Amino acid sequence: MCCSARWIVRCLPLGWLTPRRPTRAVHPEDPTRIPAVVERLRTAWEAQPSVPFAQLWAQLESVGVGFNATDTELVEACDELLRRHPYFFAPVLPGALSGVPSDAPSASPAPRTVVVETADPGPVATLSVEPGEPLGWAVVRGRRAGVQPVVWRFRAVRACRAGAPLVVEDAEGFVHRLGVVERLTAAGFAVAPGKNAAALEGVRRAELGDRVFVVRFEDDSWALVGHALWWFRVGRRAVDARRLKWVECVSGMPGAPLLVRTPGAGLEELPLVAEVFRAS
């Protein structure tokens, strides 16, 4: 090596002649985030298995997911859908064990009330619990018009998850299998009659919205009050179901008759109200 070459080498930074390992590529986003994002999207979809993906994406768009949404915003939108349509419902009542697996996905604390849609021809069940109460409330109604609803107390929800059978144990220990769950919808109301005593007082059909009530009368007949009003009386061999057209409940407090105004400005008087439950 000539003298000039030796001088150049001495002037170069230490380590310049040592081979270097290739530098790891720097990604604008960490690829390890992808499984968690996809998992959240999968959970939101599995909570509504009967909904096509295009409709699920439309739901996400309705809560703010657009073309420029970040992955964090997408996860937050999935969490919002899971708050509306939980993946499962497994309330822990006093003295009962939870049926929730430890790895069950959840976006927020469990709701107190859910409306459970089961696969046709299964029923629609509303399950509700109150803090500190040893028993919950179940309202089960058919999808077809003219089917009498039933109301009972439960002590455990054995299984209630989208895509799986709905299994509920009532207060007497009898296990009800109510079909395969299609979707759960979290509700902000209580089923208990103590919370709905005045619910029908003065309510107009045009203002009812999507609310549905079940009434137990003192003579043990029942009514289902929605946009149609059905009155059910149990006979010796069958249940007599009568449909009434109505525009307003003039009165409906416990201890008073259910007085209904009909479209022709007439009044229809039903038996004395014992309890009012909210089903939807």
Map out the domains of the chain as residue ranges: 34-84, 113-187, 193-278
Return the structure tokens found at 145.
């018009």
Q: Is 164 helix (H, G, I), strand (E, B) or coil?
A: coil
pLDDT on residue 109: 62
Phi, psi (degrees; rounded to nearest 5) at 111: -70, 160
Does residue 11 or residue 211 have the better pLDDT? 211
Q: What is the dihedral of CA 146, 112, 82, 106, to 10 degrees?
A: -140
Query: Span 64-72, mean pLDDT?
Result: 90
Considering only CA atoms, which of 192, 273, 270 is closest in space to residue 231? 270
Share of the chain above pLDDT 70, in %: 84
Q: How far is CA 63 from CA 42, 50, 162, in A?
A: 17, 20, 22
Query: Span 138-160, mean pLDDT?
Result: 94
CA gap 256, 245 in Å, rounded: 20
CA torsion sign for 267, 268, 270, 274 is negative
* Mean pLDDT for all residues in the chain: 86
Does residue 13 or residue 236 have the better pLDDT? 236
